[in-house]
Amino acid sequence: MKLKHLSTAMILATLPVTGVFAAALDRSGQSMSAFLQPGNYFEAGLSVLDPTVEGKEAGGTPTQRKIGDMGDDYMFPSAALKLQLTDNISFGLLYDQPFGADAKYTGENVFVSSPNDGVLSQKSLSDLSTKSIGQLVNAAGASFGPALQQVTNQTGGNPANPTQQEILGALQQVAIGGNTTVAAGLQKLQQTQTALNAAKAYLGSSTGSNSTQVEVDSQNLSMVFGFQPNKNLNFYAGPVIQTVKGHVSLRGQAYSVYNGYDADIKETTGTGWLAGAAYQIPEIALKASLTYRSEIDHKINIKEDLSLLGFPGLTSVLTGLGVDASKLAALSVDKKTKITTPQSVNLDLQTGIMANTVAFANVRWVNWKDFSIQPYKFGELSKILGGAGLVAGKPNGFNLVEYSDDQWSVNAGVGRKLNEKWAGNVSVGWDSGAGNPVTTLGPTEGYWNVGFGVQYSPTPATFISGGVKYFWLGDAKAQTGAQAGTNEYVASFEDNNAIAYGLKMGYRF
C-alpha cells in the first residue's frame, strides 16, 4: 500500500472510548479495527469512564427517598498486535476487557441495610396475611357470617366491607365457638408473625457491609488468523480465551430475604471463537467488515453467603409460611454455576468521502436477552420462595440478573486528516439498552452520545490519539430478580449522564 493510503488509514487507526458505556455488561465494543490495519501494526490504549447514576425509590417501594450516585468510576486497558506474515496470511493478538460492572449504593434507601429492614417486603407480608386469613374464613364455613355480623355491630362497621381486624375478630369468635381448625390456624398465624418479627430484628443487625454493590471483570485474548486471497478480501477466524470474576452484595429491604446475600465469583476461564470477513478498496479508503463472536461458557465455583441462614428461628418462619423446611438442606453447600457470556455481531464500515476525509460507522448486536445469572444457593432459595407462593408467578424460582431485550448500538462519524501530523474525528452514538425495567445492579437503558477525538503522528509510522465522549443515559426503572419479567419495580433513575476518556498509541513496522 502506498504511503498516502497509510496516512489516510491512520486517520481512523484508533477511535478511543468507542464502547465504554453500553447496555447490560457490555464495555469494550470488541472492535476488530486493529487486525484490519495494513502491514504490521501494534497499539495499546486505556479508557476511563466517570458515570453519574442517581435516582429515587419508586414503584412498589412505600418511601420516595433519593438515591445518590451509585455508578463507580472504572478504567480498562486494551492492546493489539497484528503481523502480516506473507502477502496472503496475517496473524493477530487482541486483548480487551469486554464485559464488566462497577456500582455501589450509599445513603439511606432500600438498597442499603439498616436495623429496621424487613425479611419480606410489605407487599409480601400483606399478601401472606390475606392468603392465610382467606383460608381461615373458608375453614370457618357458615359460622363466619354471624360471627362477623356480631363483631361489626360492636365496632359500628359494615359486614359487607369489613376491615382485616374485624375479620380476625370474627375468626376469634368462631374459634371460641369450638372450631379447632380455625383456632389452630389463628395460632399458627400468630406464631408466623412472631417469627417474622424476630427474623426482622436479626436480619437488620447481621448484614455486615451495608451497601448493595457489584463488581464484575472480564478479559479476552483473541488469536486471529487471516487469509487474504487478493488485496480486496480478508477472511479471518480464531479462538478466544476469556476470564470472568466478580463479587455481588445485596443489601437493603428491596431484596427481602436476600438482604445480606453475598456471591464471590472466583476467576474462571472459558473458550470461544470468532469469525469474520472484510472487503476493502484501499485507493478510496473503503473498508467493510462483519465479525461474529461466539458465546462462551464458564462453570464457576461461586461462594455464597446469606445472613438469613444464620437466624435460629428460620425453620419456624418457613414452616409458618407453608414451606417444607427440609428443603433448606440444599442451601448448605456450594455448587458450580454456569454463566454464559453472550454472542455478538459487529458490522464496521468506512469510506473516503473527500480528500483526506473518511466517514465511518459501527453497528453492534449483543444477545443479552438469552443471558442470565442464577448462582446455586440463590436459585434454590428462589425456588423455595416461588414454590410456596411467596413470590407471585415464580414457581420455578428466578435469576439474580437477567435482561429482557438484545442490545443494538450504532456509532457513526467523520475523521479528517488536517496535515501530515494531525487528524481529528467527531462521532455520535446510540445504544438501545437491554430492556426496561432493568436490574438494580445496572439501572440505565441505553444512551445517546457525542464524541471528539484528535490524533498526532510525529512520524508516518507512529501516532498517539485521545478522545472524549459525553453520554446521555437512558431513563430506567430498576427491579430486583424476583420482579424480573413483570412491570413491578423498586426505584427509578432519570436524567443521568457519563463522560469517558480514552488514550491510544500505535506503531507501524
pLDDT mean over 53-77: 93
Query: What residue type is 389 in one-letter code?
Result: G
Residue with cell 455464597: 304
**Cell triple for residue 214?**
457489584
Tell me the C-alpha distance between 272 and 30, whole Å. Answer: 14
- Selection from 139, 137, 164 nearest residue 152 by Cα: 164
Tell me the C-alpha distance between 321 and 156, whole Å. Answer: 33
At 215-251, the pLDDT tens digits run: 999 999 999 999 999 999 999 999 999 999 999 999 9
Tell me the C-alpha distance between 305 and 263, whole Å. Answer: 7
Tell me the C-alpha distance between 29 and 23, whole Å. Answer: 11
CA distances from 156 to 17, 148, 161, 174, 252 (A): 69, 12, 12, 20, 41
Secondary structure (3-state) at 217: strand
Tell me the C-alpha distance between 27 and 500, whole Å. Answer: 12
The percent of residues in the chain predicted with pLDDT above 90, rounded, is 59
* 308 touches 331 (CB < 8 A): no
Tell me the C-alpha distance between 285 and 301, whole Å. Answer: 48
The percent of residues in the chain predicted with pLDDT above 70, rounded, is 89
Task: Delineate the domains of the chain, giving CATH numbers in brackets.
Answer: 3-113+213-508 (2.40.160.60), 129-193 (no CATH)
pLDDT mean over 133-162: 89
- Selection from 295, 288, 251 nearest residue 270 by Cα: 295
At 475-500, the pLDDT tens digits run: 999 999 999 999 999 999 999 999 99
pLDDT mean over 409-425: 91
Residue 398: phi and psi, rounded to 5, are -150, 175
**Cell triple for residue 118?**
424487613
Indicate whether 264 pLDDT > 80: yes
pTM score of the predicted model = 0.86
Give the pLDDT confidence score for residue 16 in this predicted structure. 47
For helices 122-140 and 180-204, give the axis angle rounded to 10 degrees. Answer: 170
pLDDT mean over 351-358: 89
Cβ-count burial 174-205 (b if 16+ within 10 Å, e if not): bbeeebeebbebbeebeebeebbebbbebbbe
Which one is predicted more confidently, 505 or 331?
505
In the structure, what pLDDT confidence band is assigned to residue 3 with cuts at 50, 70 and 90?
very low
**Is the backbone peptide bond immediately before 62 cis, with ω within 30 degrees of 0?**
no
Tell me the C-alpha distance between 79 and 149, whole Å. Answer: 79
Give the pLDDT confidence score for residue 1 in this predicted structure. 35
Indicate whether 465 pLDDT > 60: yes
**Cell triple for residue 324?**
417444607
**Cell triple for residue 349?**
464500515
- Selection from 71, 117, 20, 74 nearest residue 411 by Cα: 20
* 45 touches 466 (CB < 8 A): no
Tell me the C-alpha distance between 505 and 483, whole Å. Answer: 45
Indicate whether 165 pLDDT > 70: yes
